[in-house]
């Protein structure tokens, strides 16, 4: 059931990255786009650290999905596909 959380989160980050990349060309939105890209990179690094290892998180040994992964997903809770059981 929770196996889909990482896939879903990475899709949200891909979408955010795509939006930011399209805004890089706009002078008015350049700084915001750069900030978005840095944010996406940081969240991907967090997800890379907090991978599933059986029933636990590889990084923090908490039950999977760990609180950190759940918190990364929280800003996207209003998007299609988010499941209430992922809420921290």
Domain tally for the chain? 1
Q: What mean pLDDT do residues 16-39 have?
A: 89
Residues of the domain holding 15 = 3-86
Angle at 63 between CA 61 and CA 66, to 5 degrees: 80
- pLDDT, tens digit, 9 for 90 and up, residues 49-72: 999 999 999 999 999 999 999 999
- Checking phi first, is residue 81 left (phi over 0); if not, alpha (psi -120 to 50) or beta? left
Phi, psi angles (nearest 5°) of residue 37: -65, -40
CB atoms within 10 A of CB 72: 23
CA 52 to each of CA 19, 24, 36, 83, 88: distance values in angstroms, whole numbers, following the listed order = 28, 34, 26, 18, 17
Q: What mean pLDDT do residues 28-50 have?
A: 94
């Amino acid at each position: 059931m929770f196996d889909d959380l990482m896939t879903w989160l990475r899709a949200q980050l891909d979408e955010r990255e795509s939006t930011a990349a399209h805004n890089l060309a706009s002078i008015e939105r350049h700084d915001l786009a750069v900030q978005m890209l840095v944010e996406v990179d940081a969240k991907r690094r967090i997800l890379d650290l907090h991978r599933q290892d059986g029933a636990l998180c590889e990084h923090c040994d908490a039950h999977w999905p760990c609180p950190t992964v759940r918190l990364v997903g929280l800003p996207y809770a209003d998007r299609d596909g988010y499941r209430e059981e992922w809420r921290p």
